[in-house]
Amino acid sequence: MEHPPVLDFATDFDHTDDAWVADPYPIMEDLRDRCPVAHSERYGGMWAPMTHATVSAIANDTEHFTSRTIIINNGRPGDEAPPAPIGVAPPISSDPPFHELARRLLLPAFAPRPVNALEGFSRELCNRLLDDMGDADVINASLQYTQHIPVGLIAKMVGLPPEDGDLFRSFVHEIIEAVDLPVEERIARFAPIEAYIIKLIEDHRENPADDLITYLLNAEIAGQKLLDEHVFGTIILLIIAGIDTTWSAIGASLWHLAHNPDDLARLVAHPELIPSAIEEFLRAYAPVTMARLVKDDFEFEGCPMKKDDWILLSFPAANRDPEFFENADQVLIDREVNRHAAFGLGIHRCLGSNLARLEMVVAIEEFITRFPKFELADPSAVTFSQGQVRGPRSLPIRILERA
């Protein structure tokens, strides 16, 4: 099922449209000026706020908006959709008060200290990938580098076979990219993913290990073991949320450096700028857009929202709002004031943000140390993903200088 091309994003918004996938930023800017909350009848009805103020208001309003479903697709969320408060993938799909209980279970594993302990592992992984590139002049940074880094880290933390990386990326594709398929086909395509996760859980029940799956199997909320669907949903979340998101963020950073030689030279000369550069790449190229559902009929900013309408919660749009950021359209790697919303706002702040930052800093440090000069081998060959996670999926880079 293919949607027709969008003629006017203000009234017929579609984030899977080719124009949006190719370059969403001018569209965001145009909408902010004339229609800050865009609308569409697609996907059964959706709204797309484009300003920081409206994105922030909705992210912080759990009374009128639910996280029960967070990926917009053709399945109109009705009685069949998993109910709040747990939802399909807790805690991202959970509402208060259950949300906090599910989130507290996971927060300690993703807090700075345990995550930073993975720095050495991350550096080894990046260097192995760089070694594997040999002395080729042109490499595909997305396929040979950025896609493997989050898989390696998530596999280690969660307890997944790292050699199944291709399989996880195919899961990611089915769940968050193939959103425009008929519902029946989406359900059919989910069956092998379900079978894989169930097998994974059985394996961990028989052979406990020092990983998050074993932790979830032993965890309790109010003295009760977690429901099977809770464990299942959280494993799905950890696989889906941790892979293509960071893959996208690292890829977008390298893409920027590959066509902004001054910024690349500056980071090579002043690696102490890397953390602020990473924050700026997160702001300017925020990979993740979330979604909410309207709980009940509700008027928001003059928009007559109906129960179960989708909300596309574009943190990338919030991050480019000139009302909120000075020089919002410029990428300034030494930006001092940067309250970006790349990891969301409010109670659903990305659980893996510390891990994502570690991966980004290490991946960029190791790449530019090994290759202090590089450029896009063919700018027209760079492709971006479609859907709610945006990042380069093919990124041919020509190496101009090696360490």
Partner 1 sequence: MKIHLDTSKCQGHGRCYSLAPELFDCDDLGTAVVIVTGELDDDQLKKATLAASNCPEFAIVIGD
Identify the residue among 68, 204, 292, 340 touching partner 1 (CB under 8 A).
340
Residue 394 in contact with partner 1, rule: CB under 8 A:
no
Identify the residue among 338, 369, 372, 398 touching partner 1 (CB under 8 A).
338
CB nearer to partner 1: give 169 or 348: 348
Task: Please give the distance of CA 46 from its chain centroid, rounded to a whole number.
Answer: 20
Helix axes 228-258, 183-206, angle to 10 degrees: 110
Residue 96 in contact with partner 1, rule: CB under 8 A:
no
Residue 112 in contact with partner 1, rule: CB under 8 A:
yes
Q: How far is the CB of 328 from partner 1 (least distance, A)?
A: 15
Identify the residue among 62, 122, 354, 386 touching partner 1 (CB under 8 A).
354
Q: How far is the CB of 341 from partner 1 (least distance, A)?
A: 6
CB nearer to partner 1: give 163 or 326: 326
Of 375, 389, 386, the residue nearest 141 (C-alpha): 375
Binding mask 274-293 for partner 1 (x = CB under 8 A): -x---x--------------
CB nearer to partner 1: give 219 or 347: 347
**Degrees, nearest 5: CA angle 116-120-124:** 140
Size of the site for partner 1 (CB under 8 A): 22
Residue 110 in contact with partner 1, rule: CB under 8 A:
yes
Burial class (CB in 10 A: 0-12, 13-18, 19+), 127: middle
Residue 345 in contact with partner 1, rule: CB under 8 A:
yes
Q: How far is the CB of 351 from partner 1 (least distance, A)?
A: 9
Residue 360 in contact with partner 1, rule: CB under 8 A:
no
Which residues of the chain form contacts with partner 1 (CB under 8 A)?
104, 107-108, 110-112, 275, 279, 336-341, 343, 345-347, 349, 353-354, 357
